[in-house]
Structure 1
Amino acid sequence: MRNSWLKGMLLVGLALGVVPVTGQDKLHVIALKKPKETHAFLQFSKGDLPVIAGHRGTVEDGFPENSIEGMAHTLKFTPAIFEIDPRLTKDSVIVLMHDATLDRTTTGTGKIGDYTYAELRKLFLKDAKGNVTPYKIPTLEEVFEWARGKTIVNLDQKGVPYAMIADLIRKNKAEAFVMITAHSVEHAQFYLQRNPQQTFSAFMRTREQFDAYEKSGIPFNQLMAYIGPEVKESNRELYHLINGKGAMAMISSASTYDKLPDKEARKERYRAIINDGASVLETDFPIEAAGAIQSMYPEKAPKRRFIKKR
């Protein structure tokens, strides 16, 4: 029965010009070498391929959030970009961790800022159910090394000084695959002053926030816009304004529809997000979400030229 289903999915995938969302030996990568290619990938085009964004990497299949191993696992199933969370250790090493404390996601306790990186390396990451995994807390520099030529990593602001992030991006020549979550126009302007080609995930949940970005002169071809966590009528105006500037709009289901206990209910909401007009779907479950919306992928799409299997 399962073999028949897989065969049917393969035929559908071939007809659509996509590979079904099943595990592959090779990775589905977003191959970007220069910032201008990243800007082209993020450009809005009506009827283009939706972009899957893994929130904190992924929590699927027993992999811990904010782990290189989890992100690599996701790319076996689908191309995706990843939102991740940099934090600072006691000895000023930038590592990945969403919480300010270690208790929920590691075998340690207490504040990250009270530990040196060498001390953190003795800990292990936990999965979403609290099970201990064999995986370690990665540094942001290790993530840069892994992500190059495979994906885009979107750095949220978790207290690391902006200048440290900007310097690390420059040091690693990571401008082509690193995006900054900008919580305000001023936040984005700080990075643009240091790198005029910097790419952003910009908070643009209201008309006022859109107007502020438009007035600032920050290039819309260097950003995607986060408009909120749910499908609602007021999204219509934002889609019109943001897409009209050539930028994609993102809805994040991490705090809303990902919480639904039923997989079919989540699938319905993932599809509703794309039908609503979002070009980017951010989720804790990027593999599941990709499978849910795969039948909605257009046969021809400009973004396909950036997606390779390696």
Structure 2
Amino acid sequence: MISSGRGFTIALFATLATQTVSAQKTTRIDSLVNQLHNPSDKHVMVTAHRGDWRNAPENSLQGFKNAIALGVDVIELDLNKTKDGVIVIMHDQTIDRTTNGKGKPSDFTLNELKQFHLRNGLGRVTNHTIPTLEEVMLLVKGKVLINLDKSYPYYNEAYQVLKNTGTLRQAIFKTDAVYDAVKSKYPEILDSITFMAVVDLDKPDAKQIIKDYQQNMKPVAFELNFKTDTSAVLSDNHFINQHGSKIWINSLWASLNAGHDDDTAVDDGNTKDSWDWLIAHGATIIQTDRPKELLNYLRKRSLHR
């Protein structure tokens, strides 16, 4: 017969062991996915635009490694396709600007494309080559979320890569197409992916586009772009969170945010009219060209997990 004191000790030990195992099962990706799908969480997620392109070639594995080391939550990258049907990471429709080659990715097989080398921000040729989506997803697996820009023509191919690498929940698919068009083009997978709608607030039907999506599905977020900051959606966007979606705003170029941009924050030292303004207007995901500086700023304000 076990004494009551000993029984209590055993029960306590079992409870603590269970809690420890449970805590160990919660990974960084678990936390990021949970935060992404929680529109009421006011902490700001930081997205590195094309990786850490100031210290490595844009859309390179090294640039993505750097971004992960900084502690970003999401990495944005761009999809393209080779002649032999492999999804690679390339922003432009040609490789002319970012490599020492010329032509479209679709002009080359993957093996041929790998012969070219990426240029850094100064235009100098490096040893880095154009990565495939598979290489990227294996690199980031369990570490960070991925935003698939320029992916709309390649949803099916990207979906298969993500399934094969076990990284489907880490990826955000996006497009500026309206709901009916997306549903018509990808009826088989739309309910199986994490999806974000991109909306130009300067268009008169912007709010209706958002409502159409909300009535038919629940996008994880809405990416709001605007050259002017007079849209009614900016002044009254609580309905977006209330219907289960986060608000994503880009702090890159002024043309995407009416001048409430990274340069205003970093070069001018004016966060009031840049990052603070974006946060005050509902942004809980900010895509930036200054990930290090934005992370430091948010951490000082206890706005980053």
Structure 2 length-normalised TM: 0.77
Cα deviation per residue 1:63-89 (whole Å; 9 max; x = unaligned)? 111112112112222232011111001
Is 1:85 equivalent to 2:78 in the alignment? yes
Aligned partner of 2:258 in structure 1 is: none
Structure 1 residues 105, 50: CA separation in 2 closer, same or farther (over 3 Å shift)? Answer: same
SS across alignment from 1:125: coil
SS across alignment from 2:76: strand
Q: How many residues align?
A: 265
Match of residue 140, structure 2, among 147, 159, 164: 147
> 2 CA distance for matches of 1:139 and 1:67?
10
User: Amino acid of the residue matched to residue 273 of structure 1?
Assistant: L
Match of residue 275, structure 2, among 270, 284, 287: 270
Judge conservation of contact 2:198–2:223 (CA < 8 Å) in 1: yes
Judge conservation of contact 1:103–1:109 (CA < 8 Å) in 2: yes
Give the percent of matched residue pairs that are identical in Structure 1 and Structure 2: 27
Judge conservation of contact 2:39–2:245 (CA < 8 Å) in 1: yes
Judge conservation of contact 2:262–2:275 (CA < 8 Å) in 1: no
Aligned partner of 1:53 in structure 2 is: 47
Judge conservation of contact 1:191–1:198 (CA < 8 Å) in 2: no
Aligned partner of 1:240 in structure 2 is: 238
Cα offset, 1:233, TM superposition: 4.1
Judge conservation of contact 2:60–2:128 (CA < 8 Å) in 1: yes
User: Amino acid of the residue matched to residue 253 of structure 1?
Assistant: S
User: Amino acid of the residue matched to residue 42 of structure 1?
Assistant: H
Judge conservation of contact 1:32–1:149 (CA < 8 Å) in 2: yes
User: Amino acid of the residue matched to residue 217 of structure 2?
Assistant: I
Aligned partner of 1:212 in structure 2 is: 212
> 2 CA distance for matches of 1:116 and 1:183?
29
Is 1:133 equivalent to 2:126 in the alignment? yes
Structure 1 residues 239, 192: CA separation in 2 closer, same or farther (over 3 Å shift)? Answer: farther
Structure 1 residues 297, 197: CA separation in 2 closer, same or farther (over 3 Å shift)? Answer: farther
Q: Which runs of 5+ in 1 are unaligned?
A: 1-29, 305-310
User: Amino acid of the residue matched to residue 285 of structure 1?
Assistant: R
User: Amino acid of the residue matched to residue 170 of structure 2?
Assistant: F
SS across alignment from 1:106: coil
Cα offset, 1:156, TM superposition: 1.7
User: Amino acid of the residue matched to residue 59 of structure 1?
Assistant: W
Structure 1 residues 295, 261: CA separation in 2 closer, same or farther (over 3 Å shift)? Answer: closer
Match of residue 87, structure 2, among 82, 94, 116: 94
Aligned partner of 1:225 in structure 2 is: 222
Judge conservation of contact 2:83–2:108 (CA < 8 Å) in 1: yes
Aligned partner of 1:281 in structure 2 is: 286
SS across alignment from 1:273: helix
Match of residue 41, structure 1, among 17, 36, 60: 36
Cα offset, 1:293, TM superposition: 3.1
Judge conservation of contact 1:106–1:125 (CA < 8 Å) in 2: yes
Cα offset, 1:126, TM superposition: 1.2
Structure 1 residues 261, 105: CA separation in 2 closer, same or farther (over 3 Å shift)? Answer: farther
Is 1:108 equivalent to 2:101 in the alignment? yes
Cα deviation per residue 1:118-155 (whole Å; 9 max; x = unaligned)? 11111111122212222111000011111111111111
Match of residue 294, structure 1, among 284, 289, 299: 299
SS across alignment from 2:169: coil
Q: Which has the larger radius of gyration?
A: 2
Aligned partner of 1:196 in structure 2 is: 191
Cα offset, 1:157, TM superposition: 2.5
User: Amino acid of the residue matched to residue 199 of structure 1?
Assistant: T
> 2 CA distance for matches of 1:231 and 1:50?
23
> 2 CA distance for matches of 1:195 and 1:57?
26
Structure 1 residues 212, 238: CA separation in 2 closer, same or farther (over 3 Å shift)? Answer: farther
Judge conservation of contact 1:125–1:135 (CA < 8 Å) in 2: yes
Cα offset, 1:180, TM superposition: 0.2
Cα offset, 1:227, TM superposition: 0.9
SS across alignment from 2:168: coil
> 1 CA distance for matches of 2:288 and 2:181?
24
Match of residue 165, structure 1, among 158, 161, 180: 158
Structure 1 residues 153, 262: CA separation in 2 closer, same or farther (over 3 Å shift)? Answer: closer
> 1 CA distance for matches of 2:187 and 2:131?
27
Structure 1 residues 60, 106: CA separation in 2 closer, same or farther (over 3 Å shift)? Answer: same
Q: Which runs of 5+ in 2 are unaligned?
A: 1-26, 255-260
Judge conservation of contact 1:94–1:139 (CA < 8 Å) in 2: yes
> 2 CA distance for matches of 1:261 and 1:134?
33
